[in-house]
Copies of this chain bind each other. A is one copy, B any other.
Amino acid sequence: MTEAKKLSLIAFSGDYDKLTAVFTLATGAAAVGYEVNIFFTFWGLDAIKQKTGRSFLGSNWLTKIFGYMMGGLGVTPNSRFNFCGIGPKIFRYLMRKNNVATLEELVDAAKLLGVNLYACEMAMHVLGLRKEDFIPEVKDVLGVATFLELSEGGRTLFI
């Protein structure tokens, strides 16, 4: 029980429901005093883009197309029952109706609770993204070694 109150999440998936899990865990843990780190990589980078809709982010035509297709937080699909994007809309509606925070509200709560947001250097290279493409709350751009170091002594989940 000498475990540090530290929770580190590798947010790989860009699905609406999985990102909801990431931010529910992050805010829930931060609210009870945990230090929380989220390391966004690959499709998970969608969650921290400045532009929440579709836009041609990227350093060349190929990454621009990927950037357009990925989009941002506003257009992430569901991992199941997506129905061409209606699934996440239904989720948002059900969350509001049942007084559960939506993903967008959870992201705001995470910022207020001081959750540390990091972007994965390697995935940014592949997808042609720069630090300026992300929200200002993103603390740093990291590689695996640095992430392993800062998450040491706590729990790490891959989502």
Contact = CB atoms under 8 A, between A and B. Distances in A.
Contact of A156 (B24, B100, B157): B157
A12 interface: yes
A117 to B, nearest CB: 18
Contacts of A14: 80
A21 interface: yes
A100 to B, nearest CB: 5
A62 interface: yes
Given A24-B122, A98-B125, A159 B156 contact: no
Contact of A158 (B21, B27, B93, B148): B21
Nearest to A83: B69
Could you say which interface size class chain A belongs to? Answer: 35 or more
B94 A81 contact: no
Interface stretch (A29-37, A49-57, A132-140): A29-37
B42 A17 contact: yes
A150 to B, nearest CB: 12
A131 interface: no
Given A69-B81, A153-B3, A21 B32 contact: no
A10 interface: yes
A125 B102 CA distance: 12
Given A14-B80, A62-B93, A100-B125, 15 more contacts: A1-B152, A2-B2, A12-B17, A12-B21, A17-B42, A21-B42, A32-B145, A32-B148, A32-B149, A43-B80, A66-B90, A69-B81, A98-B128, A155-B156, A156-B157
